[in-house]
Structure 1
């Protein structure tokens, strides 16, 4: 991507931040339907994921889920325009935090180490923004560097717009993450993707062995932190961010068992709104030894 293209793209998103919200969502709906038709390789990834994870659902039902997930992809991307560039009052009006009131209060004003387990629903950036808007606690998030430096800087600045946010690259190691937790910070963690074979374990995800990093268990243990799930949902008015009660008896001394439990509980969250999960990711690209590729 050229510098000019990057500048134009970022400029477009800045301008889109001031477009009426129904139009932004409408643009996303149209683009999502177009992508479902034209982005054939990515559609095949989604179709494969849905077939593996929901084998008892009809083809017609899975097709509807696939079309809707592309709409959510596009809408959540366009929503980053106002999340990162609209006036603060506009952003706050479109983000609703619900759930365990005592935990929400602790996120905002507590001092104990806490990991916010944020699965890859399409509203994950909205959830991070909503929570950092209402706390001065240091918050760390781990990210993958974008190929284009200009886009990478734009994404990083957007995610650090509110609150006291530290963004760390995966290559930075675990020391700054654990240090931040032990100082009473928050860690916004998204461990439910396939990052390859290194430092992963194979545990079931919808009955399919999936390469999964055991970082939730590891960081909770090393940082002596409680784990709080945060589930983000696109709504007609913006986003609803549900903060669930902290997990009890987690972590254990068995990181593999903890990671299997994480996936099991994640399935329960996904089942409430399956089209809003990040099915465009090749979740099963790394296979156990001897198993054939699925994509």
Structure 2
């Protein structure tokens, strides 16, 4: 039954994605305007995050930036439906430039493993497809609460082309990633999701302490793998959407045996990327829910539930 429901969900996604991009863009922009008008969940979270990380802006400037974030986020969702339901080769044609490919190719030639840290910037699903076209890889993911949702995600990501192993973020999955890296393989990780309490360390992110995964640093330290950052940046004004893919070396210390130093380097790298185009980063996510012990701080999103 779960498989059938996931197939129906895929069919719906395929049907919507077949609409011309100008229609999808108008739909996306309408969803964003509606969320703003109704003060929906994503609108409230984006506003709260801007209050936390952009105190330099006045109320009007934050409101304008929040509207841009919601519009970008909504368009990204409709873009992703297209990416999930079209052949990977066609999707890769939407990448008009790759910056840093020589760095990536050089890392693949090294005998040690490679960790690709992919922040929630631009369109990370297109990045997955580019990586899969370049090399076999495993991607770590946090499964949705719904079995149908997980079935759907597994189906659409299997459309990435190449060989992609989807690994659940649990103990057995982490062990398999370590073995892959020790054999010189490639692993992709979204590094900027808040981990569970006890699975991370606090480090500054846009000037505010954020619980940050120690997993990436531990994998790098134990395997000796190289770490690169990669993301797909949307070209402003492109219609249909076009992208520039970036690959850069990670900051020094990201694979340090000291977890505090590792998470500080990780957050510094993600923040530098997000600052390049603030609205293309995922500010509709509750990044600062958990607060440092003894800080006296409360969950800043409590009044949004």
Residues paired across the two proteins, number: 292
Could you say if the C-alpha distance between residues 144 and 33 of structure 1 is closer, same or farther in structure 2, counting changes exceeding 3 Å? same
Could you say if the C-alpha distance between residues 9 and 29 of structure 1 is closer, same or farther in structure 2, counting changes exceeding 3 Å? farther
Structure 2 partner of 1:281 = 285
Structure 1 partner of 2:138 = 140
Note the C-alpha offset of 1:9: 4.1
1:155 and 2:179 aligned: no
Write out per-residue CA displacement over residues 177-226 of structure 1, whole angstroms, 9 at most, x where no aligned residue.
10111122111111212123122111111121111111221111112111
Which segment drifts farther, 258-267 or 245-254?
A: 245-254
Write out per-residue CA displacement over residues 233-272 of structure 1, whole angstroms, 9 at most, x where no aligned residue.
2232332221113545542232211211221222211111
Structure 2 partner of 1:291 = 297
Does the 8 Å CA contact 1:113/1:226 hold for their aligned counterparts? yes
Structure 2 partner of 1:128 = 128
Does the 8 Å CA contact 2:218/2:257 hold for their aligned counterparts? no
Note the C-alpha offset of 1:17: 3.2
Structure 2 partner of 1:72 = 72
Rounded Cα–Cα distance in structure 2 between residues aligned with 1:125 and 1:7: 19
Structure 2 partner of 1:166 = 165
Rounded Cα–Cα distance in structure 2 between residues aligned with 1:181 and 1:211: 25
Structure 2 partner of 1:239 = 243
Does the 8 Å CA contact 1:18/1:86 hold for their aligned counterparts? no
Could you say if the C-alpha distance between residues 249 and 197 of structure 1 is closer, same or farther in structure 2, counting changes exceeding 3 Å? closer
- Counterpart pick for 2:268 among 256, 264, 268: 264
Write out per-residue CA displacement over residues 16-53 of structure 1, whole angstroms, 9 at most, x where no aligned residue.
33332333233222222222333533322211111111
Does the 8 Å CA contact 2:3/2:151 hold for their aligned counterparts? no
Could you say if the C-alpha distance between residues 14 and 41 of structure 1 is closer, same or farther in structure 2, counting changes exceeding 3 Å? closer
Write out per-residue CA displacement over residues 94-142 of structure 1, whole angstroms, 9 at most, x where no aligned residue.
1345112322324666653111111112411111112212x2x331111
Could you say if the C-alpha distance between residues 8 and 252 of structure 1 is closer, same or farther in structure 2, counting changes exceeding 3 Å? closer
The CA RMSD measured in Å over matched residues stands at: 2.4
Rounded Cα–Cα distance in structure 1 between residues aligned with 2:243 and 2:39: 26
Note the C-alpha offset of 1:7: 5.6
Does the 8 Å CA contact 2:107/2:226 hold for their aligned counterparts? no
Q: Which runs of 5+ in 2 are unaligned?
A: none
Could you say if the C-alpha distance between residues 293 and 146 of structure 1 is closer, same or farther in structure 2, counting changes exceeding 3 Å? closer
Task: Output the TM-score relative to the length of structure 1.
Answer: 0.89
Does the 8 Å CA contact 2:200/2:212 hold for their aligned counterparts? yes
Could you say if the C-alpha distance between residues 147 and 249 of structure 1 is closer, same or farther in structure 2, counting changes exceeding 3 Å? closer
Does the 8 Å CA contact 2:253/2:262 hold for their aligned counterparts? no
| 3-state SS, counterpart of residue 13 of structure 1 | helix
Does the 8 Å CA contact 1:126/1:239 hold for their aligned counterparts? no
Write out per-residue CA displacement over residues 75-95 of structure 1, whole angstroms, 9 at most, x where no aligned residue.
222122221222344212213
Rounded Cα–Cα distance in structure 2 between residues aligned with 1:37 and 1:140: 40
Task: Output the TM-score relative to the length of structure 2.
Answer: 0.87
